[in-house]
Structure 1
């Protein structure tokens, strides 16, 4: 892991950019010198780790005493997109505009991305936990499909906050039954891109004995800020 820049933000949080091989990432750490738990934040594919909503969540968590890290998935942010990626995105947009079924397109496009993202996140986790001042335990926040895959493969993930948005491939829908860690599942009731019943069925499928569903009115990007604050209390219960 090579750090390429750093800056101290107004709230005292230290923001550092890093590279891990070809993977770019950002690490936010609090002012405290004491060893801190770690939260991994992943955005839905297609959005960069520097997207404003993700950065706001990361800075809030860091200000609450957590180390927070995010990386760009393949084809996102600073990482190049292949011609196949561009074609898949174009076909998906065309099908959605035409009102055509998109499940098969999502499956062929998203499933390989999740399959490739999980080992990259595990590599990043190894490097992050080797840094001074980051001791774990580890939480996850963000993209549901990657969160399921990572929690199923990675015993160091102790709790997860998942955003019920975006397509979850068949493999991760099956893996959800294996997930037993505490979960906070956020659902936008009127999410135009996420069928409500599918999200409710996924919540039901999780094997966790402690799982909480928060549903709010509004579309995909309308999650209220107070859910971020509630999320901090969720992580405090399970990571501190």
Structure 2
């Protein structure tokens, strides 16, 4: 892992850009020198790690005493995409706009993205936990499909917060029952891109003994900011 820049922000958080082989990422850490828990924060498929809503959540979380890391996995952000991936994205946008069936197009795009992203996130986690000042346990926040696979395959994930999406690949819908870590599931009741019933069915399928569903009115990007405070309390209970 090579750090390429460092910036101390107004809230005392230190933001550092890094590369790990071909993987670009950002690490935010609080001003304290003591070892702190780590939260992996993943954007939805394809969005860049510099997406403003993610950066704001990361800064707020780091200011609360966590190390927070995100990466642009393969096919995300500015990393190269194949012609097939670009076509699948265009087809998916068109299908949503016209009301065409989207399941098979979604599978062709997001299923492979998850498969390629998980190894890179686990490699990044290995490198992050080797850094001074970062300890365990490890939490996860963000993209539901990726989070399901990580929670099932990596025992270091101790708690997870998912931004609810009814659309997850079939493989992750099947894996949901294997998720057993404490879970906070955020649902936007009027999400135009994620059918409500699918999200509710997915929540019901999770195998966690402790799982909480927070539902709010509004569209896909309308999650209220007070949910960040509730998420902070959730991670405090399980990671500190």
TM-score with structure 1 length normalisation?
A: 0.98
Name structure 2 gaps, 5 residues minimum.
Answer: none
Contact 2:141 2:161 (8 Å CA) reproduced: yes
Runs of 4+ off more than 4 Å = none
Q: Which residue in 2 is equivalent to 1:76?
A: 76
In structure 2, how many angstroms separate the alpha carbons of the residues matched to 1:239 and 1:5? 28
Which stretch shifts more, 92-101 or 62-71? 92-101
What is the rounded CA distance, in whole Å, between the counterparts of 2:227 and 2:97 in structure 1? 31
Residues in 2 aligned to 1:97 and 1:68: alpha-carbon distance in whole angstroms: 35
Task: Map 1:108-119 onto structure 2 (within 5 A).
Answer: 108-119=108-119
For residues 66 and 119 of structure 1, what CA distance do their matches in structure 2 show? 23
User: 2:183 matched to 1:168?
Assistant: no
| Maintained 8 Å contact 1:183/1:211 | yes
Cα distance in structure 1, aligned partners of 2:23 and 2:142: 18
Look up the SS of the partner of 1:152 in the other structure.
helix
In 2, distance between residues paired with 1:142 and 1:220?
13
What RMSD in Å do the two structures reach over aligned CA positions?
0.8
Which deviates more from structure 2 when the two are superposed, residues 155-164 or residues 77-86? 77-86
Q: Which residue of 1 aligns with 2:140?
A: 140
Structure 2-normalised TM-score? 0.98
Residues 1:239 and 2:239 are matched in the alignment? yes
Superposition pairs of residues 181-200 of structure 1, within 5 angstroms: 181-200=181-200
| Alpha carbons 2:184, 2:213 under 8 Å: kept | yes
> How far is the alpha carbon of 1:68 from its aligned partner?
0.2
The answer to whether the Cα contact below 8 Å between 2:2 and 2:20 also exists between their aligned partners in 1 is: yes
C-alpha distance in structure 1 between counterparts of 2:29 and 2:98, whole Å: 45
Deviation at 1:92, TM superposition (A): 1.1
Structure 1: state its 5+ residue gaps.
Answer: none
Q: Using the alignment, how far apart are the partners of 1:185 and 1:227 within structure 2?
A: 11
Matches within 5 A, 1:202-221: 202-221=202-221
Report the number of matched residues.
240
Deviation at 1:166, TM superposition (A): 6.3
Q: Secondary structure at the match of 1:124?
A: helix
